[in-house]
Copies of this chain bind each other. A is one copy, B any other.
Amino acid sequence: MTETSQPLLLRALAGETLARPPVWFMRQAGRSLPEYRELRSRAVDFIAFCHNPEMAAEATLQPMRRFPMDAAIVFADILLLPRALGQDVWFAAGEGPRLGPLPPVERLADEIEASTRRLSAVGETLSRVRAALEPERALIGFAGGPWTVATYMIEGRGSDRSRARAFAYREPELLDRLLDVLVDSTARYLVMQARSGAQALKLFESWAEGLAEDVFERVVIRPHRAIVEKVRAAGVDAPFIGFPRGAGALVETYAAAVPVQAVALDTQAPLALGRRLQARGMPIQGALDNLLLQAGGPGLDARVETLLAAWSGGPYIFNLGHGVTPDTPVEHIDRVVQRVVREAVSV
C-alpha cells in the first residue's frame, strides 16, 4: 500500500492534515439502525451476541454499508473484559448492565491470561470484518478505560460513580491492585485485537468526569500510560486514540502525559482547546453533540460547519462527542457524513 492509499483515519492519526477529515461515529453500529434491531432480535442475550463473531461482524459492517464512514469499530462491549476475568455480568432489558459482587482481586489477577483467550471471539470478529472491509477503510479495536471498568465492577451497575470515587479514597491500595489487573488484561486484550486486524485502538474512559486532579492522575493517566507502554512492549504499533470523556480542562494534562497518538474530545470541549492540542502536534477526534445529531435541522448543519472550520486546519477525525443515540434518525447521520466526505473544506 502506498503512503497515500493508506486509510484516511490512519493518516490523520499519524498527524497529517488532510483535504477533508476522516469520519466515523461512536455507536455507529447499534440501535439507531433498523437492520441492527432486526439482527439483534435473533439472539436472546446481549453478551452472547457480542461473543458471536458472525453476528458481531455483521453489526460492525452494517453502518459501513449504509454510510461512507472511514472507519469501522468492532462491535463489542467494555464489560466483556470483567466478565472474562470472572465477575458476573449481565444485561437486563431496558436497565443497562448489571454485575455481580466484585471478586477478590487476587482471584481476578489469576484470570488475566485466561481472560484474553475468553475474548477470542472479538478477535475472530475483527478478522472477519477486516477481510470484508475495503482497504481504504480502517478498522478500530477498543477497550474500556480501567477506571471506567472498575467503577462498574465496584458499583455493580451504571451510576453516578460516587461509590467508586469513595472507594478510591478509602481503599487506595485495593483500587490500585484492581487497576493493575485491568491494565494488564486490557493491554493483552488490545494486543490480541491488533493481531486480529485492528489498525487503531481506542480507550474509552467514559467516566473520567468529576475526578480531582490527583485522582485523575492516579486512576486515568497512570493506567492509560501503562497500557500503551505494555502494548508497545508487545511489538504492536497500532495508533491509540485516548478518550477521557468528561475530563474537562484535564484533557490537556492527559494529552501531554499519555503516549496516545490522538485524543478524542467530548461534547463540551471548547474549539480553542482542540486547536491548542493540534498546535502541539496532537490529532483530535470529535465532538458533535449526539443530541444535536438526533435533533437535526439547521442548527445541526451550522454546527457541522463550525467544527469543520475550527478543526480541519489540523489533524482531525470528525466524530461525535458521545455515542449515536438509539432515537437518532438515519437520515441525520447520512446527511452529516455526506457533508464531511463531500469536499475539501474552505477554512
Contacts and interface: CB of A to CB of B under 8 A. Distances in A.
Interface of A is mostly: helix
Interface stretch (A131-139, A206-214, A333-341): A206-214
A214 B306 contact: yes
A240 to B, nearest CB: 22
A160 to B, nearest CB: 10
A89 to B, nearest CB: 22
Interface string A230-271: 000000000000000011111111000000000000111111
Contacts of A303: 212, 214
B249 A162 contact: no
Chain A interface residue number, banded: 35 or more
A209 B212 contact: no
Interface stretch (A97-105, A114-122, A290-298): A290-298
A209 to B, nearest CB: 7
A344 interface: no
A273 interface: yes
A23 to B, nearest CB: 18
A278 to B, nearest CB: 15
Contacts of A170: 295
A309 interface: no
Contacts of A211: 267-268
A299 B172 contact: yes
A209 B246 contact: yes
Nearest to A164: B291
A268 B212 contact: yes
24 contacts: A165-B291, A166-B291, A166-B295, A169-B297, A169-B300, A170-B295, A209-B209, A209-B246, A211-B268, A212-B267, A212-B268, A212-B292, A212-B303, A213-B270, A214-B306, A215-B289, A247-B248, A248-B268, A248-B269, A249-B252, A249-B269, A249-B273, A250-B270, A253-B270
Closest 5 CB pairs of A and B: A248-B248, A169-B295, A249-B249, A212-B289, A166-B291
Given A169-B294, A172-B299, 14 more contacts: A165-B291, A166-B291, A169-B292, A169-B295, A169-B297, A210-B266, A210-B268, A212-B268, A213-B271, A215-B289, A216-B268, A248-B269, A249-B268, A249-B269
